A and B are shown apart, each in its own frame.
Chain A
């Protein structure tokens, strides 16, 4: 990196020493990464953060990223703030049955050995805010998973930018993050007003709304303020989680308000403050409906029904099982739920995993469907068509050769039982 450029940030003497290498090569690498990124994005300084959610998985980091993490740990790098891991690219117990390449499994093992030495809490989850600890209002964070960042900022009122894989590792080493964007109050004010003119029902509707908003704004620095329809029941945490994940996936959105619901949006005026409004948008049922079942028609065979992106909470698993009732999955169709190890453990204890498996459904743990070698999985399963209530999953998988469609939870389960889209 260009050290003279990066020095336009105001640094403490300790931070300068770190950048000069006086705290070792790993710390020097970490702070220099942060200074360069801060330079590119207009940060004026580095600021302390309270926790890190580290996105590191072999599917995107490859051998180059793995060797970097191993080198850092070899140099003595350790996390200096509580650090949890985002979804991993392998469910170690089940990957073989899905055709995940052995090389990927071995590399992922090496990565997690290194991360354990680094000092992470290896929860391998994208819903750390539901199963590990919720973020606190006003808390500065360096979180990786983009849906988790949007949730932390929007729902909890915590403060984080997207700190992607290498940036999250750097933040864990320094305990700092470049101070720009969503660490600062003025950037968190709404830039766009989204009036919803229909009732939203269930996570698929909220996911579709996130997809619609993300598509319209498509800019990390814009902040939507959602104004709900009169009489709209208050959203659940699971619904807000799907909104956040989809808005992040489709539009790189990292912060949002829901008027009357989220902490800095008691009123629309409070959400917008004195920030100039870029645009006013209206969402109708027709607009949202256009996102459902786009690439599959009624009667089309459904190979996979996948509940994923983000991993399911225990409450979502309960809803799936209760709506499935005593029906069984059709032969030739797979029903897959992705969860983290904490939720799997509870499913076992409660007898829910046995219920799911008895109905012909399957579980993937510690990963997310799109993270675990989706192209190899598709070929191994001989699957093409996929139905899901997650717009984020639809968005990602079409690039991996799937014909995907968004559907409500009930339509997804009906399709799993029938083997085709009703």
Chain B
């Protein structure tokens, strides 16, 4: 559950891709497909990761910020082909790599939402993200 029941929307974001609806899965950590994921099963394999053992497949993946090398720029397309990719990505701050990966895979991506994404969204929340208007809305 989100902190404030009155808050129905985060706004002010920037992104690209189609608007989608889905269930959020939230990580308070950074993300890199090579560092954090089991490449075969697409589950989080990094010990101590706050989603260790879980999968972001077909969820709206909300996380802090990308980290590390270029892996994510390729990996999202291959994960999508195998049914293991998220529906869309929302982060506090994106970098070029994750934007390139999302564009390649045709996944919507959004960042820069106010108020703070990770303070508001909880795993299991049903949300709609719309990169064109820069919003995340609870359903």
Mark A residues whose CB is within 8 Å of B: 1-2, 5, 33, 36-37, 39-42, 55-56, 59-65, 68, 86, 144-147, 161-167, 181, 214, 218-221, 248-252, 254, 370, 375, 395-396, 398-401
Contact = CB atoms under 8 A, between A and B. Distances in A.
A42 B14 contact: yes
A187 B40 CA distance: 38
Given A33-B100, A181-B96, A165 B74 contact: yes
B45 A252 contact: no
Given A63-B81, A161-B96, 13 more contacts: A2-B16, A37-B99, A40-B14, A40-B102, A42-B14, A56-B74, A62-B77, A68-B77, A144-B70, A146-B97, A181-B96, A249-B68, A399-B46
A299 B97 CA distance: 40
Contacts of B99: 37, 40-41
Contacts of B49: 399
B136 interface: no
A35 to B, nearest CB: 9
Contact of A61 (B15, B78, B94, B103): B78
Given A55-B73, A61-B78, A220 B93 contact: yes
Contacts of B128: none
A146 B70 contact: yes
Given A5-B132, A166-B104, A65 B74 contact: yes
* A-B pairs, 5 with minimum CB distance: A164-B73, A62-B78, A220-B95, A399-B46, A164-B70
Given A33-B104, A167-B73, A218-B67, A162 B95 contact: yes
Given A40-B103, A64-B80, A65-B78, A166 B73 contact: yes
Contacts of B100: 33, 37, 163-167
B103 A252 contact: no
Given A64-B80, A219-B93, A398-B47, A250 B67 contact: yes
Would you call the interface of chain A mostly helix, strand, loop, or mixed?
helix
Contacts of A56: 74
A61 B67 contact: no
Interface of B: 14-18, 30, 33-37, 39, 45-47, 49, 64-75, 77-78, 80-82, 93-97, 99-104, 109, 131-132
B82 to A, nearest CB: 8
Nearest to A400: B45
A359 B18 CA distance: 58
A399 B35 contact: yes
Given A181-B96, A399-B35, A63 B78 contact: yes
Contacts of B70: 55, 60, 86, 144-146, 162, 164-165
Contacts of A399: 34-37, 45-47, 49
A3 B109 CA distance: 16
Contacts of B17: 2, 36
Given A248-B69, A395-B35, A398-B47, A62 B96 contact: no
Contacts of A61: 74-75, 77-78
A144 B109 CA distance: 21
Looking at A37, A63, A68, the one whose CB has the most chain B CB atoms below 10 A away is A37
A210 B66 CA distance: 17
A372 to B, nearest CB: 12
Contacts of B72: 60, 164
12 contacts: A37-B99, A37-B103, A41-B96, A55-B73, A60-B33, A64-B81, A164-B74, A166-B77, A166-B101, A167-B73, A219-B65, A399-B35
A7 B61 CA distance: 28
B80 to A, nearest CB: 7
Contact of A396 (B34, B93, B94): B34
B12 to A, nearest CB: 14
A252 B74 contact: no
B106 to A, nearest CB: 8
A74 B28 CA distance: 42
A278 to B, nearest CB: 13
Given A37-B96, A37-B103, A252 B81 contact: no
A86 to B, nearest CB: 8
Contact of B95 (A144, A166, A252): A252
A33 B103 contact: yes
